[in-house]
Amino acid sequence: MANICIVCKKEVAPSGKALKIKEDRLIRSIRAIKNALHIAQNNKLFVCKDDLAEHNGRRKKFEKDSVVFGVAAVAIILVMVGLPLLGGNFSINIFLISILMGIIVFIFGAMFKYVPAVEGVREFNEVKGVKEAEKAKEAKAG
Ligand SMILES: [Zn+2]
């Protein structure tokens, strides 16, 4: 397990400054899928100080893109459900398949382009400090 910057993919030096990535539901799902496929590296994810501007730009773009994915997914559902309806026959199977396709388009689009949020944009955690804080937490829990 290593501390990896998600922008430059380099290991963050123990004394280096970096922002921790928020472990949100999508990150955990992607990790669960990777675990199932045995391709998980289980690295701790960071954005190093030098890459923060780059990361913020990507994050903004992703937020815009995710709206586009949502619209595309809804459009697919509407077309697939709407066309048979115009033809006068409604099938529950087509209805369900089209909803499933819309969801798949959204998830895949989001997964491949996903740019996670970072925790606390104002202050950089010293990676060493993060490790110590986690150790302290583990000690408390154990
Ligand atoms: Zn970096």
pTM of the model: 0.62
For residue 48, give the H/E element and its range: strand 44-48
Residue 6: closest CA among 111, 115, 110? 115
pLDDT tens over the chain, length 142 residues: 788 999 999 998 777 788 889 888 888 888 888 888 888 888 889 998 889 899 999 999 988 888 888 888 888 888 888 887 777 777 788 888 888 888 887 777 777 778 888 875 455 555 555 556 666 667 776 5
Ligand 1 centroid – CA 86 distance (Å): 52
What is the SS3 string spanning 52-120? HHHHHHHHHHHHHHHHHHHHHHHHHHHHHHHHHHHCCCCCHHHHHHHHHHHHHHHHHHHHHHCCCCECC
Ligand 1 centroid – CA 9 distance (Å): 6
Give, as residue ranges, everything with CB less than 5 Å from ion ligand 1: 5, 7-8, 48, 51
